[in-house]
Amino acid sequence: MQKNRIGLFDIYVSPLTLGGMSLGTKKKQAKEMIDIALQSGINHLDTADLYDFGMNEEIVGEAMKGRRNEVIVTTKVGNHFDRSRKTNDWFWDPSKTYIESALKESLDRLQTDYIDIYMLHGGTIDDPIDEIIETFEQLKKAGYIRTYGISSVRPNVIQAYQKKSNMDVVMMQYNMLDRRPEELLDTLYEQQISVLARGPLAKGILTSDADKLLEKKGSDGYLAYDRLSLRKTVEELANLSPSLSTLAFQYINHHPAIASIVFGASAKEQLIDNLEQFPNQALSEKTYEQIQAMTKFFPYSKHR
C-alpha cells in the first residue's frame, strides 16, 4: 500500500487503518486479525486507553512485539476510568496530571517507550485547551510521543486547536451519509493537518449487507435520514458501483485532506472483505458529484 504523510511530521501511514475498538477481548483472534492487517500492507493501528479498559492496548502491544519499528500506533486519552472496577462510570478529565499518568499506563500496556500519534479522545470548548496543548508539546519534546492531535466531531473544538496548536492530525467520523466534516476539510488541508476518517461504512449500512443492516441498524434512520429516506438513498448509491463498500471508501478518499480511513472489524471474514473492497483507483469527478446530489450535507448544529 502507498503511504500518506501525517501533517508536517515524518510519519507515513497506509490509506487504511485498522481500528481496535471492535476487535474484542479474545486475544488470539484479535492478534490474528492484526497479523492479517499488517501482512496486507496496513501499517497503522488505532486504539485508545478506554477500549475494553486497556485490554485493546495490551493486545496491540503484544501484536507489535518484534516489529515495533514497522507499525504506526495511535492511542487516545482523556476518559478517566478505574480499570479495576471495569464499570461505565468514567468521566472526562483532560487535565495535565491525568494525561501524564494515563500516558505512562498506555506505554506499559503497549509495551513501548513512545507513541507515534497521541490524541485527545474528545474534548469540549470549556477544557483547559492551552494547558492540554502545552502538555502534549512537553510530551513530544521529551520523546514520549512523536506527534499529537484530537479525535473530535465538534467544530468549535477542532477550530480552537487549529488556531492554537501545532497538531498534525484530526480524527472525525466521515462517510457518504455523514458529510458534516466537509465544512472543515478544506481549512484542515490548507493548514496541512491530516484527517483520519472513522466510521466509513456507517455501521455497515454502506456494505453488501445493506439490506439486512438497514432493518437492524437503520430501523430508526441514520442522523438526518429517516428510515425511508435512508433506504432510498442507500439503494441509489448501490446503483453507482458493483461494490457499495468500495464506493464508500472512494468517496472519502476523494478529498486530499484524508490520510487514512479507520475501519473496524469484529471477525476475520469482515476484515478480509474490507481489505478486498478497498479501491485501487480514484473516484471520477462525475460519480463524486452524483453522490453529493444523492446525499445530504448538513452542518453540525451544535458546538459552533
226-236 confidence digits (pLDDT tens): 999 999 999 99
Domains in the chain: boundaries: 4-294
Band of residue 237 on the pLDDT scale cut at 50, 70, 90: very high
Spatial distance between the Cα atoms of 85 and 68, rounded to a whole number of angstroms: 31
- For 236, what's the count of Cα atoms within 13 Å in the CB-facing half-sphere? 15
Instruction: At 243, give phi and psi (nearest 5°).
Output: -130, 115
What is the dotted CATH code of the domain comprising 4-294?
3.20.20.100
* Backbone conformation region of residue 8, classed left if phi is above 0, alpha if psi is from -120 to 50, else beta: alpha
Mean per-residue pLDDT, 254-266? 96
Please spell the DSSP secondary structure of 250-302, one letter per residue. HHHHTSTTEEEEEEE-SSHHHHHHHHHHS-SSPPPHHHHHHHHHHS-----SS
Q: pTM of the predicted model, to two decimals?
A: 0.94
Active-site residue identified among 12, 51, 98, 148: 51
Mean pLDDT over 83-109 rounds to 86
Return phi, psi of residue 226, to 5°: -80, 180
Is residue 51 flagged as an active site residue? yes
How many angstroms separate the CA atoms of 3 and 224, rounded? 34
State how far the Cα of 158 lies from the Cα of 167, in Å rounded to an integer.
10
Q: Rounded mean pLDDT of the chain? A: 93
Write out pLDDT tens, residues 2-54.
Answer: 899 999 999 999 999 999 999 989 999 999 999 999 999 999 999 999 888 88
Q: Enter the C-alpha cell of residue 203.
A: 455501521
Reply yes or no on whether the pLDDT at 88 is more than 70. Answer: no
Per-residue pLDDT, 84: 67
